[in-house]
C-alpha cells in the first residue's frame, strides 16, 4: 500500500487532477478554447449522459473514454473516480449543459477530491442562469439562484412562501410540464412582480417572455412552454400592493402560522410578518413581545 501524499502537496507525485468543464447549453459554438484543450488532454471524461456528451465530442473530433456520472450512481462512481485520480489520472467532469454542479451532480465528487488532497480546477463556460439573467431586463446587481423548486405543489408553495421576504431578483429552473403551475403559484404568493421566462436559450427556438407574472401566466395558458426553461422574477415594485393581511390577527399569531405553514424558523417568520405589515423587524419584535406580556397572567 502506498503512503498518502503529505498535506499541501495534493497528488503531487502522480499529477492527478479533476477539471470541472463548462459545456454549451445549446449552441455548440459556445465552448472555450481552454475547455476543448482540457477535454482533448483528459484521460477520461465523466458525464451525466454519455450519449449526449458524445455528440459534443464528435463535433470537435475528440476521442476519449467516457464514464457515466449521474445522481443515481454518484455514491459509488465518485469513489471509483477518486481512486483513478490518486493514481495520476486527469479527469474532466461535464454536465449535459452548462457548468457542472449547478443544479447537476458533482458535489460529492468535488468534496471527496478535496478530502483526498486532489486538485480541483474549474474551466468556466456557459451558464443558463447568467445568460438568461443578462437578457431578462430585470435588476441584476443582486440575485438569488434558487434552482429547481420542489415538484409537489404543497412543498413548492411553502418554498415560495419562504421567498416572499426576498427583495433580490429570483432565478429558478423549471420543467416545461410544471412551469405554468409554478408561475401561477408565484403570482399568488409573491404578488404580480415583473418577470421573464427565457426558454431554449442559445438554441434555434430561443425565446424570452417578458412582463408581469400575470401576463406570463396568461401566455402559458394560451401556448404551453417547451424546452429548457428558466424563470426570472424581479423584486417587488414600489407601487405593488402587499399580499392581503388579516388585520384582526395578532402579529405573534401570524408568526406562529408562518412557522407551521411555510416551515420557517422564528427569525424568518418574524421578518416575513414584519414585511407584510410594513414594519421594521425591530418594531415587529417589540410588538410581539408586547403582545406576549399583555397576555401574561398578573402573577407572571
CATH of the domain at 134: 3.30.950.10
Judged against a pLDDT cut of 90, whether residue 151 lies above it is answered with yes
Q: Please check whether residue 6 lies inside any domain of the structure.
A: no
**DSSP assignment letter at 106:** -
Distance CA 210, CA 220 (A): 12
3-state secondary structure of 120: strand
* Domain co-membership, 66 together with 104: yes
Which helix H or strand E contains 208, and what residues bound it?
A: strand 207-212
- CB hemisphere CA count around 46 (13 angstroms): 29
pLDDT digits (tens, 9 = 90+) for 164-187: 888 999 999 999 999 999 999 999
Q: Where is the domain boundary, 126, 153, 180?
A: 126
Q: Pairing mode, if any, of strands 17-21 and 229-233? A: unpaired
Cell of 262: 411555510
Q: Hey, which bits of 48-168 come out as E strands?
A: 66-68, 90-94, 120-123, 143-148
Q: Which residue has the higher pLDDT, 16 or 289?
A: 16
Instruction: Tell me whether strands 229-233 and 207-212 are parallel, antiparallel or unpaired.
Output: unpaired
Question: From CA 193, how far away is CA 232, in angstroms rounded?
Answer: 10
- Asked whether 105 and 147 are in contact (CB, 8 A), the reply is no
Which helix (H) or strand (E) is 270 found in, with range?
A: helix 266-276
My answer on whether 140 and 187 are in the same domain is: yes
Residues 132-148 have a mean pLDDT of 96
| pLDDT for position 283 | 77
Distance CA 142, CA 156 (A): 23
| 18-31 per-position pLDDT tens digit | 999 999 999 999 99
Does residue 77 share a domain with residue 57? yes
Please check the confidence at residue 257 and state whether its pLDDT lies above 90.
no
| Residue 259 pLDDT grade (very low, low, confident, very high; cuts 50, 70, 90) | confident
Q: Which grid coordinates belong to 201?
A: 436559450
Identify the pLDDT of residue 297.
42
Q: Would you say residue 292 has pLDDT above 80? A: no
Q: Render pLDDT for 67-97 as a digit per residue (tens, 0 to 9).
A: 999 989 999 999 999 999 999 999 999 999 9
213 belongs to a structural domain: yes
% of the chain beyond a pLDDT of 90: 70
Compute the average pLDDT of residues 276-295.
70
225 in any annotated domain: yes
**Final residue of a domain: which of 108, 126, 144?**
126
In this model, does residue 296 exceed pLDDT 60?
A: no
Is residue 12, in this structure, part of any structural domain at all?
no
CB 103, CB 48: distance < 8 Å: no
Is the pLDDT at 46 greater than 80? The verdict is yes
Structural domain range at position 264: 251-295
Reported as a single tens digit per residue, the pLDDT across 188-205 is 999 999 999 999 999 999
- Which DSSP state fits 191? -
User: For the chain, how many structural domains are there in total?
Assistant: 3
Q: Residue 67 domain-assigned?
A: yes
Determine what percent of the chain is predicted with pLDDT higher than 70: 86
Residue 168 lies in a domain: yes
Could you give the CA distance from residue 127 to residue 107 in angstroms, rounded to a whole number?
17
126, 156, 176 - which closes a domain: 126
Average pLDDT over residues 232-258: 72
Specify if 242 maps to a domain. no
Q: What is the CATH number of the domain that holds 84?
A: 3.40.1010.10
Establish if 211 belongs to a structural domain. yes
Grade residue 265 by pLDDT with cuts at 50, 70 and 90: confident
What's the average model confidence in pLDDT over 205-213?
Answer: 96
The answer on 161 and 116 residing in a single domain is no
Q: Annotate 226-245 with b (16+ C-beta within 10 A) or e (fewer).
A: eebbbbbbbbbeeeeeeeee
Same domain, 190 and 262: no
Amino acid at each position: 500500500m502506498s503512503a498518502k501524499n503529505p498535506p499541501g502537496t495534493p497528488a503531487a507525485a502522480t499529477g492527478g487532477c479533476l477539471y470541472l468543464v463548462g459545456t454549451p447549453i445549446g449552441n455548440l459554438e459556445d465552448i472555450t478554447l481552454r475547455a476543448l484543450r482540457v477535454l482533448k488532454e483528459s484521460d477520461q471524461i465523466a458525464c451525466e449522459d454519455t450519449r449526449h456528451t458524445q455528440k459534443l465530442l464528435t463535433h470537435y473530433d475528440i476521442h476519449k473514454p467516457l464514464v457515466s456520472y449521474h445522481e443515481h450512481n454518484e455514491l459509488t462512481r465518485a469513489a471509483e473516480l477518486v481512486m483513478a485520480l490518486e493514481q495520476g489520472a486527469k479527469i474532466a467532469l461535464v454536465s449535459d449543459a452548462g457548468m457542472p454542479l449547478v443544479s447537476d451532480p458533482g458535489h460529492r465528487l468535488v468534496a471527496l477530491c478535496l478530502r483526498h488532497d486532489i486538485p480541483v480546477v474549474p474551466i468556466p463556460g456557459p451558464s443558463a442562469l447568467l445568460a438568461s439573467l443578462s437578457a431578462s431586463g430585470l435588476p441584476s446587481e443582486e440575485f438569488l439562484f434558487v434552482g429547481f423548486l420542489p415538484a409537489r405543489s404543497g412543498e413548492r408553495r411553502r418554498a415560495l412562501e419562504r421567498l416572499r421576504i426576498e427583495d433580490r431578483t429570483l432565478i429558478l429552473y423549471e420543467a416545461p410540464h410544471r412551469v405554468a403551475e409554478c408561475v401561477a403559484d408565484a403570482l399568488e404568493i409573491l404578488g404580480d412582480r415583473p418577470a421573464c421566462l427565457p426558454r431554449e436559450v442559445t438554441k434555434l427556438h430561443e425565446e424570452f417572455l417578458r412582463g408581469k407574472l400575470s401576463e406570463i401566466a396568461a401566455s402559458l395558458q394560451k401556448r404551453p412552454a417547451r424546452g429548457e426553461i428558466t424563470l426570472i422574477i424581479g423584486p417587488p415594485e414600489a407601487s405593488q400592493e402587499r399580499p392581503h393581511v388579516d388585520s384582526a390577527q395578532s402579529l405573534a399569531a401570524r408568526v406562529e402560522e408562518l412557522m407551521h405553514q411555510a416551515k420557517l424558523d422564528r427569525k424568518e417568520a418574524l421578518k416575513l410578518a414584519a414585511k407584510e405589515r410594513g414594519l421594521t423587524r425591530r418594531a415587529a419584535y417589540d410588538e410581539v413581545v408586547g403582545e406576549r406580556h399583555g397576555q401574561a397572567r398578573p402573577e407572571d
